[in-house]
Amino acid sequence: MTHPADPLTALPHDERIRSRKVANGVATVIVDATGLTPNDSKRVEDEVHAAALSTPGVKEARIAMTASQPHRTLIAIGSGKGGVGKSTVSANLAIALARAGKKIGLIDADVYGPSQPTLLGKHDKPEAENEKLLPVEAHGIRFLSLGQLVSPGHALAWRGPMATGALANLIEADWGDAELLLVDLPPGTGDVQLSLIQRSRPAGAVIVSTPQDLSLIDARRAVDLFNKTSVPVLGIIENMATYVCPHCGQASHPFGTGGAEQAAVELGVPFLGRLPLSLTIREASDAGRPPAASDGPEADAFTEIAQKLLAAVTH
């Protein structure tokens, strides 16, 4: 590879460099990190960064490390605010997809409240091999959680760079033959979301919201973030929509109903389905027995949404 008019010709690891340019004193370099361990990727990034800064006329260097995963699709699952049941939906959606015949990996990237070990009933710490984490298996899926990296009950008091670095280690783990990787993001539109988009480029995003206006305001912000970063929004899921009294059988709507579906229409994104406010789902989740792993009306609801998501991913 030669670049006769390129002041960055002398960069190391030329065989991995996919793009390089200098504009207004800023060098931008894209490096292919496919196959590198996290430590090797960091070493290559540092070496390219140092070499770029040593180039005459370069005052700032921006290095983007990318890794190709041609047989794996990354799906971000986000919400504008906390408390909408995003992690519960993520866990059960992953299991429903696995029961549909897909090989599924689930990444719990919620630095503010990593709950997948509890939801999946599996608190084992992951082992590592060749400097890569080995996901833990539960209910037919593989998963990794930031909650597995600290002792139970201890706060994850991490600043942005620490959280995004930990997320990179989870994504670059040994996911084997997983076809779909679902990433349970923290609420909001901050560092973790931006890092995921910049470094791993999800194939699409799913937004979880409750029906009430307060939740939908923030859900719209989440949709806007993915739209602005050119990540397709595959759909919105309305959670906690209907409560059926177990004693009298009467249905009520504590958070309203239909709000997320209407927002999807207004935003021009698909509506993937509606999930109930269910005592069964709450009790099963607290006990580490996701309802999607068994049969019943709750499992059927997740199965229906999983089928719609698969259709959206393949089109």
pLDDT values of the chain reduced to their tens digit, one per residue, 315 residues: 444 457 888 899 988 998 999 999 999 999 988 877 778 889 999 999 999 999 999 999 999 988 765 468 999 999 877 778 899 999 999 999 999 999 999 999 887 778 899 999 998 989 988 888 999 999 999 999 988 876 665 556 556 667 677 788 888 899 998 999 999 998 876 778 888 888 888 999 999 998 877 778 888 988 999 999 999 999 999 988 876 677 776 766 666 677 788 888 889 999 999 998 888 888 888 899 999 999 988 899 999 999 999 999 877
Residue 13, CA distances (Å) to 27, 44, 56 in order: 16, 7, 19
Any idea which residue has 């699709």 for tokens? 73
Domain 73-313: which topology?
A: Rossmann fold (3.40.50)
Of 280, 252, 293, the closest CA to residue 122 belongs to 293
pLDDT for 157 equals: 58
pLDDT for 3 equals: 45
Domain edges within the chain: 14-66, 73-313
- For residue 32, which phi and psi values (nearest 5 degrees)? -80, 115
pLDDT for 211 equals: 84
DSSP string, the chain: ---TT-TTTT-S-GGGEEEEEEETTEEEEEEE-TT--HHHHHHHHHHHHHHHHTSTT--EEEEEEE---TT-EEEEEE-SSSSS-HHHHHHHHHHHHHHTT--EEEEE--TT---HHHHTT--PPPPEETTEE-PEEETTEEEEEGGGGS-TT------HHHHHHHHHHHHTS--TT-SEEEEEPPSSSSHHHHHHHHHH--SEEEEEE-SSHHHHHHHHHHHHHHHHTT--EEEEEE-S--EE-TTT--EE-TT-SSHHHHHHHHHT--EEEE----HHHHHHHHTT--GGGS-SHHHHHHHHHHHHHHHHHT-
CATH code for the domain defined by 14-66? 3.30.300.130
pLDDT for 45 equals: 94
